[in-house]
Structure 1
Amino acid sequence: MRLSARALSGVTGAAWRAGVALRGQDVARWFPGHMAKGLKKMQSSLTRVDCVIEKIVQQLEEGEGLRNVIFTNCMTDENVRQVIPAVSQLIGSSHRYHRGENVDYCVMVAGIPNVGKSSLINSLRRQHLRKATALCPAGKATRVGGEPGITRAVTSRIQVSERPLVFLLDTPGVLAPRIESVETGLKLALCGALLDHLVGEETLADYLLHTLNEHRLLGYVQHYGLGGTCQDTGHLLKSVAVRLGKTRKVKALTGTGDVNVVQPNYAAAARDFLQAFRSGQLGPVMLDRDLLRGHPPAETEA
């Protein structure tokens, strides 16, 4: 993404904020009931599972000791056809114990919320079954969405392949009962793994703006047609609201009575800013650059 000369001139003399106020300590203790229930159900289902697929979205470094990693894109079905052969090879070379007499394979899909587990199942069905029925249009067997919590329970077995005969278990997204820090919680929320209202959309927008500026990822300047970079989140959200026509009417008390005043809708502007980031309209962004540089996230306050 290319910035205009006017935007770059604003970068040259910018004095970036030293930090951001980390609010939302409750995020670090968030473990909703459906997640705890789903985790217990997943544990009890392991006796009828041959293999577990962990769906993740992260940059993998060489030398981490990871094996059997397949990079897929479930939106375009890229490399998805490699999954079933890899699963078959793993199961065929392992002891199946009490499942040794079963001709079918049962695979569990696990991962954090909103990582794309249901999308992987639907992609596998498109690639290996190519079916479309009234109950399952275009081979889609599980609901998907852009927010966490779409899958709230361990589902029944879903067939994804005939030869070999493979069934998958879709599961709800699960996290550790306690997130290690508030900043980690903010990053998870920015990626859509946590519900926005747990932190606050404007708080997330503030953290996102600080992160983008800190790493000189200034795609938002061009995306919103700004005259330069912004250090104040309120100023940015006001500019976004005015540009997109996101306003609201509020009543103001005056000496002559109530008067309707039109104000920028900061919450709506924050939602648009977050959605632009999540949909890639602000360019590629890696939130964990500080970890790669050896700077751990701020600790959670007691």
Structure 2
Amino acid sequence: MRLAAGALRAWRQRFDFGGRDVAAWFPGHMAKGLRQMKESLRKVDCLIEVHDARIPFSGRNPAFQEALGIRPHLLVLNKMDLADLTHKAKILERLEQEGLKNVLFTNCVKDENVKKVIPLITDLVSSSQRYQRAENVEYCIMVIGVPNVGKSSLINSMRRLHLKKGKASRVGGEPGITKAVLTRIQVSERPLMYLLDTPGVLAPRIESVETGMKLALCGAIRDHLVGEDVMADYLLYTLNKQQQFSYVERYGLGEPSDDIESVLKRVAMKLGKTHKVKVLTGTGDVNVIAPDYPAAAYELLRTFRKGELGQVLLD
């Protein structure tokens, strides 16, 4: 659902982050994961970096390139079904300007484009030095990325396609499912290829609060560290800015709104997310039904992450 561009003229042109400290959202507990990756490099022929297609330029960990960049590198932009890829050619052009020539968009839920991964990897490895691994007939590939971008989903998708086997790596809808560098997981027989799943590792310093918010919206960190209320407000700001108004019909608002409180109130009432609140009056306590704003904010975020509020490009 889209409206005329003029409808947004009087709405917010920028989002007020209120002086929030992004450092508090990203605790420095991920150095161990990066250290484990470095220790496993001698077994690795190539890196697959998985990132969210909704934020192709934001939030990728520069430490990956610094610490692991001596290996051939394929960037997989996953969850393509959730992203607005109208300007896909421009995205690829900008990434190439940043030195990323090998980029693939995927949807691991439906196995879209996943069959292209192994041919790309074999080409990359065959055209590069194998770092004292020339005698090995199998390929060993490390899968890296920030939390909750679909690393484990990619591994499982490849196993479905090439081995006709089920899950080998645990998948979850929130960050932190993969806790450590795992044992090698076979994903192909010909060529013989193994992948190493790794824990999601965020950059120790995020470049801006807005980048942090984009990562949070995509589920790269736990919601409570940022606050569901401010995330829902930033989501509303983004949807309106991109003229994605499907939330209006979905929650029965009547018209688009730039006021998060009124939107959350409507979401709560529509879905029955309410609770009783005691109100002190002159004649005693009275129980009234009030909207559950945190539950409504969580519902808005959950619906967005399922792709039910339209395809969005946050960058």
Q: Same fold (TM over 0.5)?
A: yes
C-alpha distance 18-77 of structure 1, shift in aligned 2 (>3 A): closer
Encode CA deviations 1:195-218: one digit per residue, 9 max, x unaligned.
111111011111111222233222
Q: TM-score scaled by structure 1?
A: 0.84
Matches within 5 A, 1:100-139: 100-131=134-165, 139=166
User: Is the 8 Å Cα contact of residues 108 and 170 (structure 1) preserved in structure 2?
Assistant: yes
Aligned equivalent of 2:102: 68
Which of these residues, 40, 47, 58, is aligned with residue 42 of structure 2? 47
Aligned equivalent of 1:291: none
Percent identity at matched positions? 63
C-alpha distance 61-87 of structure 1, shift in aligned 2 (>3 A): closer
Alignment partner of 1:160: what SS? strand
1:191 aligns with 2:218: yes
Amino acid in structure 1 at the alignment position of 2:291:
P
C-alpha distance 130-48 of structure 1, shift in aligned 2 (>3 A): same
User: Is the 8 Å Cα contact of residues 30 and 178 (structure 1) preserved in structure 2?
Assistant: no
Displacement after TM superposition at 1:187 (Å): 1.0
C-alpha distance 75-212 of structure 1, shift in aligned 2 (>3 A): same
Displacement after TM superposition at 1:30 (Å): 4.0
Deviates more, 1:16-25 or 1:189-198: 16-25
Question: Which stretches of structure 1, 4 residues or more, deviate above 6 A after TM superposition?
Answer: none
User: Is the 8 Å Cα contact of residues 92 and 103 (structure 2) preserved in structure 1?
Assistant: no
Displacement after TM superposition at 1:180 (Å): 0.9
Displacement after TM superposition at 1:156 (Å): 1.1
Alignment partner of 1:61: what SS? helix
Aligned equivalent of 1:298: none
Amino acid in structure 2 at the alignment position of 1:81:
K
Q: TM-score scaled by structure 2?
A: 0.81
Higher-Rg structure is: 1
Aligned equivalent of 2:292: 265
1:284 aligns with 2:279: no
User: Is the 8 Å Cα contact of residues 23 and 203 (structure 1) preserved in structure 2?
Assistant: no
Aligned equivalent of 1:99: 133
- Aligned CA RMSD, in angstroms, stands at 2.2
User: Is the 8 Å Cα contact of residues 8 and 240 (structure 2) preserved in structure 1?
Assistant: no
Encode CA deviations 1:152-203: one digit per residue, 9 max, x unaligned.
2111111111122111000111121011111111111111112111111011
Displacement after TM superposition at 1:61 (Å): 2.9
Alpha-carbon distance between aligned partners in 2 of 1:159 and 1:9, rounded to the nearest angstrom: 51
Amino acid in structure 2 at the alignment position of 1:44:
E
Displacement after TM superposition at 1:70 (Å): 2.4
* Equivalent pairs, count: 276
C-alpha distance 91-18 of structure 1, shift in aligned 2 (>3 A): closer
Encode CA deviations 1:95-145: one digit per residue, 9 max, x unaligned.
2232222222110001111111000000011111113xxxxxxx1001111
Alpha-carbon distance between aligned partners in 2 of 1:276 and 1:240, rounded to the nearest angstrom: 11
Encode CA deviations 1:35-81: one digit per residue, 9 max, x unaligned.
22111111111111111011122253325243232222211112212
Alpha-carbon distance between aligned partners in 1 of 2:213 and 2:8, rounded to the nearest angstrom: 28
